[in-house]
Structure 1
Amino acid sequence: MRRMWGLLLMVLLAGCTTGSDYVRPDVAAPVHWSVAYDAAADVADSRWWQQFGDPVLDGLIEQAVRQNLDLKIATARVDQYLGALDTTRAQFFPQISAGFDAAGKRTAGQTNESYQAALSATWELDLWGRIRRSSEAAQAQIAGSEAGRRGVLMTLVANVASGYLTLRGLDRQLEIATATEKAYAESLKLFQLRFRYGTVSQLEVAQAESQYEAARQSIPVYESLVRQQENLLSLLQGHAPGPIPRGKALDELTPPAIPAGIPSQLLERRPDIIQAEQALIAANAQVGAAKAAYFPKISLTAALGAASTDIGRLFTPGSELWSAAGQVVAPLLNFGQISGQVKQAEAQQQQALFQYRQAVLTGFREVEDALTKTTRGKEQLVAQKRQVAALEEYARLSRLQFEAGTSSYLQVLDADRSLFTGRLNSTQTQYDLLVSLIGVYKALGGGWIDAAEKPGATARK
């Protein structure tokens, strides 16, 4: 008989788990990314920002990883879910508490006192897997929040690197504008002197002055953009706006390597995809927890202590008390409350499923866009450099023809204006190309996120 009851107790404790176990859904992946996985993984796992060869950039990224407030917020969110998991797991064990009661009552001239001290325990038997599914959901939420933190880290490193490259590009454009303004100022002085001696007309002086002012007005525009970019980088590093140190010039930076194609397995390491899948796992587990409400809820309670009408004799022999009870509560008539909760959980599971699939497809799109932008950006930069060289020759020949009296100054103005614009556009394309390379690494995610976190381990403090 004892063996039979022991076996029955084991069966009850083992119980069953409501709801289906999680199975990763299939998402169609592009088939034309055929580069070897190892080759692409080596690139995706490296500290790609160090390939630029600029120690200042390395220092800015390390500072940001240590001090960025968004990353600290994401880290605190992970700790929040760790606490939630501890709360859920505690339900697997009896909840023990201690209590002391003292009461007094006077009736018909008599005073009655009573004292009681006891330890009590309450334990819910997880026969249908409600607590197990809730624990599974809590664990998935932790993994999802950690993936979210890694996503913040990934975005932070990419934003610091792209922000710094943009800053160096704006510095270069400001240099071009300043040098052009200086050259136009010298040309204007020369024209004003020639007008004084009657060798040029007032019209040509006005044209030279217009050219000078056009270059001059671009300087404060780029100065403002430079300052805004410095403020952005200061924010990313977690401190008040201020100057940002400079390292290598834009032309001195070495672009990081990019593989010719990307295997779709690499995208599985993207934090946003991991986070979306963990949200799906949690939602799937919540469906099981909701379905467990259809079944009886079994709880055991027990108390052990002492009671007496004299506090001095509370713990003497004969004052002992104990109690034990079991409770079974089964849903009988709830007018659709439980089914409504199940439908809600199932709908949330469907939302999480579609969000996961959307995250995967978005990852494919972002990688493809980044690769396309990089490839086309290289072609555009080569063409623009050839255009700048042609415009330099155009400007030189136009000025020679004007000095020789065979063309008007309008041609010189057109050549100089085109050259100024061409140089600015070429610089813009140059740092846009570098930023697009960063976009490839950001789209891939991967092991470089762990590499980025190592110098900034104090971000968790």
Structure 2
Amino acid sequence: MASIRLSLQAALATNYLALRGSDEAQRILDTTVVAYQKALYLTKKRYQGGAAPISDVDEAETQLENAKTMAADMRLQRAQLEHAIAVLVGEIPSNFSLAPAKSPRVFLAIAPNLPSTILDRRPDIVAAESRVIAANANIGVARAAFFPVIDLTGSGGFQSRSLSNLISKPSLFWSLGPLSLLSLTQPVAEVTLFDGGRLRGLLNQAKAQYFETVATYRQTVLTAFQEVEDNLVAINQLDKEYQSQKAAARAAKRAWDQELYRYKGGLVTFLQVVVVENAALQSKISLVNIYTRRQIASIQLIKALGGGALELGKKGAAIDKGKK
């Protein structure tokens, strides 16, 4: 149950961050559509004045329609993310909505110097560990029955129940804890003389189940460490990518401004402007995508750690300072 709850919480956070990323991408695309509409208007005026060929008009119109298509597709993605969030919070998608919001770019960060023992909070590790403990207890139960405590009576006999009656119901046998079973004094002779090795078989079965649970536990722990490492690497690399892409987006914006200025002066063709404009748009969208992926990697790391361990990253806030 705890594992399901953690997965649902992580899915909700992931979808919400993706939705806010789509909001930012939508604003970029909507602004771009407006800019391309102005560019088309300018190009038509230049064509009508004989300063530009008809091919420039076609290029401007193609660019505008492509941007409109991208904007429409982004609206579709947002609607689907909104529907996914609705389901996760138990709402009917048609009755649920989240208004677009502009959020400052503050990176999610994990509290530093966390001990690896924090993984003990993971529901899957807790469950696997519990199965190991239970299987180990089963071996203890079997050994307690195999080597019972023998109480001698004053008459020199054994005071006990029939061992065969004790294990006639295996489900009851395995449900008995070691302490309760130890309280049942069993003569060793009954094991070999009357049970035909059945109890030894139960012990071997318990051992096999124990080693199986140990192997599962070990694999669960290794998988947990892999998930933590994967997301730590992702966060580290995406931080670097974000810085590089932010510089690229700024450079692309400067290049776009320069090319548009040169086009107005008749120094370059509109095709050259289109190439630079598209590069600038892709740089902006890529920056949003990297930021969103970085946030989602933080959520996945929190999930891999079993939940919690979250703090607002002061470094992340300083990196962006709310700038686009």
> Separation in 1 of the partners of 2:263 and 2:249?
21
List per-residue Cα deviations over 1:77-100 (Å, max 9, x = no partner). Answer: xxxxxxxxxxxxxxxxxxxxxxxx
Aligned equivalent of 1:160: 12
Q: TM-score, normalised by structure 1?
A: 0.54
Q: In structure 2, what residue type is equivalent to 1:345?
A: A
Aligned equivalent of 2:97: 244
> Separation in 1 of the partners of 2:295 and 2:144?
54
Hey, which of these two has a bigger chunk of strand by percent? 1
Aligned equivalent of 1:219: 71
- 2:265 counterpart of 1:413: no
- 2:264 counterpart of 1:403: yes
Correspondence 1:49-448 to 2 at 5 A: 149-242=1-94, 243-246=96-99, 248-250=101-103, 252=104, 254-289=106-141, 296-298=163-165, 341-445=202-306
Indicate how the Cα distance of structure 1 residues 219 and 333 shifts in structure 2: closer, same or farther if over 3 A, else same. farther
Cα deviation for residue 365 of structure 1 reads 2.0
Indicate how the Cα distance of structure 1 residues 179 and 345 shifts in structure 2: closer, same or farther if over 3 A, else same. same
> Separation in 2 of the partners of 1:390 and 1:225?
28
List per-residue Cα deviations over 1:428-458 (Å, max 9, x = no partner). Answer: 1111112222223222225679xxxxxxxxx
Cα deviation for residue 213 of structure 1 reads 1.9
Cα deviation for residue 247 of structure 1 reads 7.2
> Separation in 2 of the partners of 1:360 and 1:402?
61
Indicate how the Cα distance of structure 1 residues 231 and 335 shifts in structure 2: closer, same or farther if over 3 A, else same. farther
CA contact (8 A) 1:233 1:244 kept: no
Cα deviation for residue 385 of structure 1 reads 1.0
User: 3-state SS of the aligned residue for 2:212?
Assistant: helix
Indicate how the Cα distance of structure 1 residues 395 and 293 shifts in structure 2: closer, same or farther if over 3 A, else same. same
Cα deviation for residue 345 of structure 1 reads 3.2
Indicate how the Cα distance of structure 1 residues 447 and 422 shifts in structure 2: closer, same or farther if over 3 A, else same. closer
Cα deviation for residue 268 of structure 1 reads 1.9
Q: TM-score, normalised by structure 2?
A: 0.74
Gapped runs of 5+ residues in structure 1? 1-148, 300-327, 450-461
Indicate how the Cα distance of structure 1 residues 352 and 405 shifts in structure 2: closer, same or farther if over 3 A, else same. same
List per-residue Cα deviations over 1:335-365 (Å, max 9, x = no partner). Answer: 8765555444332222210111112222222
Q: In structure 1, what residue type is equivalent to 2:294?
A: L
> Separation in 2 of the partners of 1:225 and 1:339?
61
Correspondence 1:17-56 to 2 at 5 A: none
Q: In structure 2, what residue type is equivalent to 1:249?
A: K
Indicate how the Cα distance of structure 1 residues 253 and 194 shifts in structure 2: closer, same or farther if over 3 A, else same. closer
> Separation in 1 of the partners of 2:307 and 2:42?
59
> Separation in 2 of the partners of 1:447 and 1:194?
59
Cα deviation for residue 285 of structure 1 reads 2.6
User: 3-state SS of the aligned residue for 2:299?
Assistant: helix
Cα deviation for residue 165 of structure 1 reads 1.1
CA contact (8 A) 2:23 2:101 kept: no
List per-residue Cα deviations over 1:59-82 (Å, max 9, x = no partner). Answer: xxxxxxxxxxxxxxxxxxxxxxxx
User: 3-state SS of the aligned residue for 2:21?
Assistant: helix
Indicate how the Cα distance of structure 1 residues 400 and 351 shifts in structure 2: closer, same or farther if over 3 A, else same. same
> Separation in 2 of the partners of 1:336 and 1:406?
97
Indicate how the Cα distance of structure 1 residues 185 and 392 shifts in structure 2: closer, same or farther if over 3 A, else same. same
CA contact (8 A) 1:392 1:419 kept: yes
Cα deviation for residue 158 of structure 1 reads 2.1
List per-residue Cα deviations over 1:154-199 (Å, max 9, x = no partner). Answer: 2222222221111000111122122212221222233233323322
Gapped runs of 5+ residues in structure 2? 149-162, 167-186, 311-324
User: 3-state SS of the aligned residue for 1:266?
Assistant: helix
Cα deviation for residue 402 of structure 1 reads 1.5
CA contact (8 A) 1:266 1:446 kept: no
Cα deviation for residue 201 of structure 1 reads 0.8
User: 3-state SS of the aligned residue for 1:179?
Assistant: helix
> Separation in 2 of the partners of 1:163 and 1:428?
13
Indicate how the Cα distance of structure 1 residues 227 and 332 shifts in structure 2: closer, same or farther if over 3 A, else same. farther
Aligned equivalent of 2:179: none
> Separation in 2 of the partners of 1:257 and 1:447?
11
**Count of residues paired in the alignment:** 272
Q: In structure 2, what residue type is equivalent to 1:237?
A: V
Percent identical: 30
> Separation in 2 of the partners of 1:432 and 1:447?
19
Aligned equivalent of 2:180: none
